[in-house]
Amino acid sequence: MTSTLIQVSHFSYRYNQESEVALKNVHLEVAAGEFVAMIGANGSGKSTLCNALVGLIPNYFVGYSEGRITVDGKDTASVSVGELSQTIGLVFQNPFNQLSYTADTVAEELAYGLGNRGVPRDEMFSKIKKIAELMQIDELLDKNPLELSGGQVQRVALASAIILEPKILVLDECTTQLDPIGSEQIMDIIKKLNESGITIVMVDHDMERVAELADKVYVLQHGSIVLGGTPEEVFCSPQLAEFSVSPPDYYEITKNVIQPGYREKDFALTESQAIALLQEVLYEDRNQEPQA
Ligand SMILES: Nc1ncnc2c1ncn2[C@@H]1O[C@H](COP(=O)(O)OP(=O)(O)OP(=O)(O)O)[C@@H](O)[C@H]1O
């Protein structure tokens, strides 16, 4: 039986100085071990929802909220962000906001959260070594965080969240500073973390990636969840375009190549599905060619 780790119940939020709500009656559940993707146009409320999941809303931001969010049974409005961070970690959209800037080296930056939790020194060193290898930042450990490139800061920011081993990782566009190969490496790591049992909530604009990784997708528009379901349910929805979201390119490619009704499933969402489908169709066509 799957257990619910995050329960968002009719949650609405308005930032203090804004007249419009940023989240409107959001209702969703995330089960333990699930990989959930949040998508939607700019300004649709994705980052606000991330901040609410980790308790920064309502504990740090000034505004007005309604409804309730529980994470692993804890009401985010009733416990401190520090207490919640033992269960749920956020990787910010802007990685420069993630670092404490009180540490002289990357190693100290990584030690920061562990120190706050009273992790013994030996254990701290071994965790830092392990995460540095995983994130390919071994060479940066003695560097000052202020000297890092955007991509390096992003890797350190992710490492500083992962090293705390939260049950849930919330990733708000966590590869924006990385090149395509770097992004792919990070996504492989995130996929493996999910396979090891960590629940992932990811905000992303890369639909190919969302289709590849997510178990469930939610589409936000003007602060409301307007569509939700499996990648197939969401990306095949005729309403999708209304919400300023396009399906993965593989969907359009396969839909254009394969005649409607020719196959039971005439579309693909991921690269591997597209290759398999096109190979199957080409193989059938070749076998149907008249013999010379
Ligand atoms: N700190 C803030 N103070 C006031 N208003 C904010 C703040 N952060 C976001 N907003 C407003 O809340 C709404 C939702 O913004 P949010 O950043 O959550 O959207 P988003 O979907 O994450 O956008 P993007 O894809 O551009 O990151 C927007 O109207 C935005 O202007």
Model confidence pLDDT, tens digit, residues 187-215: 999 999 999 999 999 999 999 999 999 99
Give residue 47 CA to ligand 1 midpoint distance, Å.
Answer: 6
Q: Per the domain annotation, does 263 fall within a domain?
A: yes
Q: What is the mean pLDDT of residues 92-109?
A: 89
SS3 236: coil
Residue 71 CB coordination number (10 Å): 23
Asked if the structure places residue 134 within a domain, the reply is: yes
| pLDDT given at position 259 | 72
Do the bridges between strand 23-31 and strand 168-172 make them parallel or antiparallel, or are there none, so unpaired? unpaired
Q: Quick check: CB of 152 below 6 Å from ligand 1?
A: no
Q: With a 6 A CB cut-off, is 21 part of the ligand 1 pocket?
A: no
Q: Is residue 110 part of a domain?
A: yes
Q: Classify burial at 199, counting beta carbons within 10 Å of its beta carbon; exposed 0-12, middle 13-18, buried 19 or more.
A: buried
- Rounded Cα distance between 87 and 277, Å, is 41
- pLDDT for 102 equals 86
Candidates 200, 197, 199; CA nearest to 210 is: 200
16 lines ligand 1 (CB under 6 A): no
Report the separation in Å between the CA atom of 227 and the middle of ligand 1, taken as the mean of its atom positions. Answer: 19
Closest CA to 8 of 79, 75, 86: 75
**Residue 224: CB within 6 Å of ligand 1?**
no
24 lines ligand 1 (CB under 6 A): no
Which atom from ligand 1 is nearest to the alpha carbon of 48?
Answer: 18
Q: Residue 97 has what pLDDT?
A: 86
270 CA distance to ligand 1 centroid (A)?
30
pLDDT at 117: 86
Please indicate, yes or no, if residue 290 is contained in any of the structural domains.
yes
82: left (phi over 0), alpha (psi -120 to 50) or beta: alpha
Domain membership of residue 273 (yes or no) is yes
The reply to whether 82 falls in a domain is no
CA distance 70 to 73: 5
Q: From the CB of 15, is ligand 1 less than 6 Å away? A: yes
Domain end among 110, 138, 159: 159
The SS3 call for residue 2 is: coil
Check residue 242 and report its DSSP letter: G
In 3-state terms, what secondary structure has residue 49? helix
Residue 196 belongs to a domain: no
What pLDDT is recorded for position 287?
67
- Tens-place pLDDT, residues 150-199: 899 999 999 999 999 999 999 999 998 889 998 999 999 999 999 999 99
Looking at the structure of the chain, the number of domains it has is 2
Q: Is the pLDDT of residue 139 over 90?
A: yes
The pLDDT assigned to 261 comes to 67
Q: How far is the CA of 22 from the centre of ligand 1 (A)?
A: 7
Q: What is the 3-state secondary structure (H, E, C) of 135-150?
A: CCCHHHCCCCHHHCCH
Q: Which residue's CA is minimally distant from atom 4 of ligand 1?
A: 15
pLDDT class of 286 with cuts at 50, 70, 90: low
Half-sphere exposure of 214 (CA within 13 A, CB side): 31
Tell me which of 141, 159, 177 is where a domain ends.
159
Across 105-109, 203-207, 243-247, 263-267, least confident range: 263-267
pLDDT for residue 291 is more than 60: no
Give the strand order in the sheet containing 74-75.
23-31, 4-15, 63-71, 74-75
Between the CA of 191 and the centroid of ligand 1 the distance, in Å, is 27
Residue 276 belongs to a domain: yes
Q: Is 45 in the pocket of ligand 1 (CB under 6 A)?
A: yes
Choosing from 119, 137, 159, the residue where a domain stops is: 159
100 backbone φψ class: left, alpha, beta (φ>0; ψ -120 to 50): alpha
What is the domain range of residue 129? 101-159
Q: Other CB atoms closer than 10 Å to residue 145's CB: what's the count?
A: 24
